Structure formats: structure tokens, C-alpha cells
Amino acid sequence: MVKLENVGYQIGKQWLVRNINVTIENGALWGLVGPNGAGKSTLLRLISGELLPTTGEVRIFGKPIQSYPPKELARIRAYLQQKRDINFPFTSLEVALFGRHPYLNGTKETVDDVSIAKGALQRVEANMFEERLYPTLSGGEASRVDVARILTQAPDLFLLDEPTNHLDPRYQVRILNLCKTICSRGKTVITAIHDLNLASMCADQLLLLKDGVSVASGPPQTVLTLELLSEVYNIPFDVLPHPDGHLWVMPTVDLS
Amino acid sequence: MQKRTKILLILIGVLPVSMCIAAGVGAYQILPWRIPEILFFKKDGFAVLVHVRFPRVILSAVVGAMLAISGATLQGIFRNPLADPGLIGVTAGAGLGATIWIVLIGGGALGIWGLPVAAFACGMLVTVSVWKIAEGEGKVSTLTLLLAGIALNSFAGAGIGLMTFLADDEQLRSLTFWLLGGFGGATWQVVFVTLPIAAIGLLVLSRQAAALNAMSLGESEAYHLGVSTETLKRWSIFGVALTVGAAVSAAGGIGFVGLVVPHLLRLLGGADHRYVLPGSAVGGAILLVLADLFSRTVVVPAELPVGIVTAFIGGPFFLWLLLRFKREVLL
């Protein structure tokens, strides 16, 4: 369980995130939505322990996040970042194996570690280029290898920053299905996501942010409303029910 | 057996062979396979081997190992394959210390130890300053570290320039020779002072290998993978300052070893630092033993500064690397 109590983060005089109170139950898939610069990534970095809140407290499984040593924390939570660049000729398999770093006993990975990494690459259909050098992969291929890396890390809490970026629709759906599977095994996923339709399709709960403040939170049906969306994004929206039950969200474009 | 293990074993096999060849070649020729016999029965050539060749060959191997592993470490810390051990200011700082000693203080004081001690101390001082500038709120920014290193490098360079300007002809000659690097002054004393520093430095640096792998994803990713990035940076910079400081003090400024050797290793067997760091140490040792052999035999009876040799080999080699691999994103 992740609990944020009155969390705020300040750089200089500017509050990037303020007064966030959320309780995230185990096994839930939470989506963080909101415009660019709303504080989604900052919030994820606060939950990951990389940033320490200026006010309030982040608790993971009952303990304040700063009470975990880095290596122990790395076995509990994994973080998938948006930007990535590796300047060294590591193979995809090696990059996936980095996920075993928090479990390294000594300096070398065991045979088990290697088979865990290979299994993870298989789950994101990246096993066919496991021997290729990571810097030579396309954006989408590299994204899948990164997902494999955090699967290899085998945490209880997955923090994903725009995991569907660079992916074609097929892999977007695959990654989100993977998130669903992860959640069904009792693990928790918190993901920042721009695509409101993907968010509406897959998330159990959404947190809508604007200017670092929580505007609304709850199931997609209660968050993705006409009023809230137009207020937060400052453009008109159409919201329609999809035959499957979730909501279809479209910005209303006035091209004239 | 894994490819990387093979490469490491081959390098470890080549090192003693190259050292024996280097110990044999010179004005007084000794066949490498006769070395054990000469040592054991104290035959002709014993004095040359023990008092002249051995300290020189051992020192060049140790210096090569220190420079190359430092280069590999800094490339890992800065996540940039073009980083050079000189980046954190230790080389230029040591150079400044040495030139100040040569020009302003003069050879007499502290005997043979004056120059290396001044070089080492000044190298450390500059690196500590670079570190302190980059330090803020308990964290050290890698980018500031890099920029502060560049700034202090050029400052130290200006200091060296000033000393060159002030130097008289004789000072200028020893100054130039020192700045270009060489093992002409290798004695057992120097070897015995350098060895323990090298041992500590190599041990500290090789222990960072697994964390450096995680670091290549980026600093915050490394943190998310459980690496204490501040500890990693602190130990790495400490190890690099120690080893490069000792290397420069013992042999002057020798370029390109720290840049080229880690590249070669990555080219042969990939980027895993658990292989690149030890491989660079052994590879750097081989390279510098051979470069020194070349430098003292090519223009007999004179000696070419070994820094010129490494730059002559290193420069074109590096260009070749760039041209050959620019399409493969390796650089």
C-alpha cells in the first residue's frame, strides 16, 4: 500500500506538487493524468523516493520511504522513465539483466537471474533482439527492453512514466494488458499517461492533476467528465460511452 | 567458456610476455627466455635487468594499468565514452605542481621526492576543488563535476603556460620532458612508492564495476536500481584521483591510454564494466610497456618521451575508431 499524506514538493519558490493526499491499495492500477507540467512525473519521482517531499510524507507498505536503504527499496519498487539513452554497447539482454542489480550477491548474475531476464524479454516480445546492441534499437524496441528491465526487477510497486510512448497501438495494448496482469497478481501499478482513452480503458483509478494540485480522483467514470476535462485542459471535450462500458474521450477540434 | 573470460585470460597471458620482451630489448640485448637463467645464476646482464630494466618495465605496466582503469571508470561515471582521466583536473593539477616545482623551487629540496610529491599534492588539490565546487546539499551533480573539471583544467593549463614563460632554457627542457611523460627516471624506489597506491586505487575502482553498469542507464535509473549514486561517485573520483595522481607523479603526463584502451576492450567484448575495468587495467599495462619499449629503442641512443608515442599511436587509432564505428552509435 502506498500512502501520500499532504505531499508537496518545492523548487526555489515554485511548488511542483502540492497537498496531495492519496491512498493506493495493493493490486490497483492507478493512472496519473493531466496536462504537460501538471506534476505527474514529479509525483512519480516522489513516490519512488528519488525526490524527498518538502512537506508531508510518502509511506510504502507502512514505512516512510526514506527509511528504506536504496537496495531494499529497489527490490520493492521499480521505475520506468520517459527518456533513456545508453552510450555504451550493451546488448538488450544485458540491459534487461540490470534489473537484477538489487539482488546481486557478489558481482555476477546467477543462471536464475539470466532466465528471469530472458523470460521478461519474452513477455514483451523483445527476445528476438536480445543479442542486439541497445543503442541500435528503434524507439519502440528500446521501450520494450526497458519494460523487460523493470519486470526483471520483480518489484511489488511499478511506477511507469508514459510507458506507451513510442509504441504502436498493438504494443500499447500489450503493455497495458501486462499492467493488468501484474495487478491481478496483487502488485500495484502507478502510471503517468497522456492518452485519456487508454487511461479510461485500463485504469482502476485516476488522479487528475493540474498545476501540481489534485483536481479529482476516483474511477475513470467520475474523473473523465466534460466539466473536469475542459477545466483542466482548457479546451472543449466530447465524452461518449463506448459499447464496452468505458468512456471515449475526444477533444473537440474547431478547425475553422 | 565465455568470450570475455577468454579475452581477459589472453590479456593476462600477454602481459608477462610483453614485459619479458621489454626487459630484454635495449642497448644490451637479452633474449627473453634467458631471463630466469640470468636471474637465478646471476649471469651477465643481471645488473642491467635488475637495476635498470625491471623497475622501468614494472613501473610502465603499473602506470598503464592505473591510467586505463581510471579512464574506463570516468567514462562510466560521466556516461560518456569520450571521457578521459584528465577530466577531473588531476592531470593538469599534477602538471602545474610539477612545473611550479621545476621553475620556482628547483630540484634540490626534498631530493628526488620533491617533484612527484608536489605533482601528487597539486593534482589532489585540484580534484578536491572540482569536487567541492560540484557539491551542493549533499549531492554532487555529474554535469557540474564535468564543467568544473574543464574550468580548473584550463586554469591549471594557464598556470603551466605561465611557468613555461618564466622558465630558463634548462628548466624548459626538463619541464617539457616531464609534461610529455617518460619512464627514464624509473627506480625501485619509485616503484615501491607507486605500487601500494596503485593497489589501493585498482581495488577501489574495480569494486565499482557492477554499480557503473547500472549508472550507464542514467543517474536516477541507477538510484532506482538500488545504487547509492553518491557513494559510487565519491569512491570513483577518489580512486581516479589517487591512481592518476600517482601515475602522473611517477611518469609525467601520458595521454590517450585512458581514452583508447577502454574503447578497445568494449570493441572486443562489450560494455560490461565487470569486464571492461579489469581488462582495461591489463590492456593499459601491455600498451604502455610496449610504448615505452618503442620510445627508448626507436631513436637510440636518445629517448623519445613516451607521451609522444602514445599520442602518435592513440590519435590515429582513435580517428580510425570514429570513422569505422560512427554509424553503429558506439561512440
List, for residues A14-73, the tens digit of each pLDDT value. 999 999 999 999 999 999 999 998 999 999 999 999 999 999 999 999 999 999 999 999
Specify the pTM. Answer: 0.90
Q: What is the pLDDT of residues B49-107, one digit of tens each?
A: 888 899 999 999 999 999 999 999 999 998 888 788 888 888 889 889 888 888 888 76
List B residues 263-282 in contact with A (Cβ-Cβ < 8 A). 266, 270-272, 274
Beta carbons within 10 angstroms of residue B174's beta carbon: 16
**Cell numbers at B295, concatenated:** 620510445
Q: B221 and A104: CB-CB below 8 Å?
A: no
Identify the pLDDT of residue B331: 43
Q: What is the pLDDT of residues B28-56, one digit of tens each?
A: 888 888 888 888 888 888 888 888 899 99
Whether residue B213 lies within 8 A of chain A, CB to CB, comes out as yes
**Which residues in chain B have Cβ-Cβ distances shorter than 8 Å to A81?**
218, 220-221
Whether residue B212 lies within 8 A of chain A, CB to CB, comes out as no
**Which residues in chain B have Cβ-Cβ distances shorter than 8 Å to A75?**
226
What is the DSSP secondary structure assignment for residue B147, as one 8-state letter? H
Q: A89 and B266: CB-CB below 8 Å?
A: yes
Whether B197 and B265 have beta carbons less than 8 Å apart is answered as no
Q: Which of B210, B225, B272 sits opposite A74 (nearest CB)?
A: B225
Q: What distance in Å separates the CA atoms of residue A85 and residue A90, rounded to the nearest whole number?
A: 11
Residues in chain B: 331
Strand-pairing partners, residue B96, are none
Q: Chain A interface, mutation test: which of B80, B146, B206, B217, most A Cβ atoms within 10 Å?
A: B217
Q: Exposed/middle/buried for A11, CB within 10 Å: 0-12, 13-18, 19+?
A: exposed
A203/chain B closest Cα distance in angstroms: 24
Q: Which of B80, B210, B270 sits opposite A87 (nearest CB)?
A: B80
B299/chain A closest Cα distance in angstroms: 39
Kindly give, in sequence order, each residue whose CB lies less than 8 Å from that of residue B42, ignoring residues fewer than 6 positions away: none
Whether residue A135 lies within 8 A of chain B, CB to CB, comes out as yes
Alpha-carbon Rg for chain B, nearest whole angstrom, is 20
Whether residue A105 lies within 8 A of chain B, CB to CB, comes out as no
What ipTM score was computed for the predicted complex, to two decimals? 0.90
Q: B81 and A108: CB-CB below 8 Å?
A: no
Domain A1-61+157-170+185-256 fold: Rossmann fold (3.40.50)
Q: A74 and B226: CB-CB below 8 Å?
A: yes
**Cell numbers at B46, concatenated:** 643481471
Q: Bigger pLDDT: B139 or A249?
A: A249
Q: A98 and B214: CB-CB below 8 Å?
A: yes
Query: Cα dist. A120→A136, A147, B101, B279 in Å?
Result: 20, 8, 59, 30
Q: What distance in Å separates the CA atoms of residue B177 and residue B314, rounded to the nearest whole number?
A: 19
Q: Which domains does chain B have, with CATH numbers?
A: 3-328 (1.10.3470.10)
Q: What distance in Å separates the CA atoms of residue B284 and residue B276, rounded to the nearest whole number?
A: 11
Q: What is the pLDDT of residues B259-280, one digit of tens each?
A: 889 988 998 899 999 999 999 9
Whether residue B224 lies within 8 A of chain A, CB to CB, comes out as yes
b/e per residue B99-127 (b: at least 16 CB within 10 A): bbbbbeeeeeeeeeebbbebbbbbbbbbb
Q: What is the pLDDT of residues A61-85, one digit of tens each?
A: 999 999 999 999 999 999 998 777 8
Strand-pairing partners, residue A157, are A77, A188
Cell 524479454 maps to which residue? A121
Q: What distance in Å separates the CA atoms of residue B251 and residue B183, rounded to the nearest whole number?
A: 6
Q: A94 and B223: CB-CB below 8 Å?
A: no
Whether residue B223 lies within 8 A of chain A, CB to CB, comes out as yes
Region label for A56, one of left (φ > 0), alpha (ψ between -120 and 50) or beta (otherwise): left
Q: What is the pLDDT of residues B179-233, one digit of tens each?
A: 888 898 888 988 998 999 999 999 999 999 999 999 999 889 999 999 999 999 9
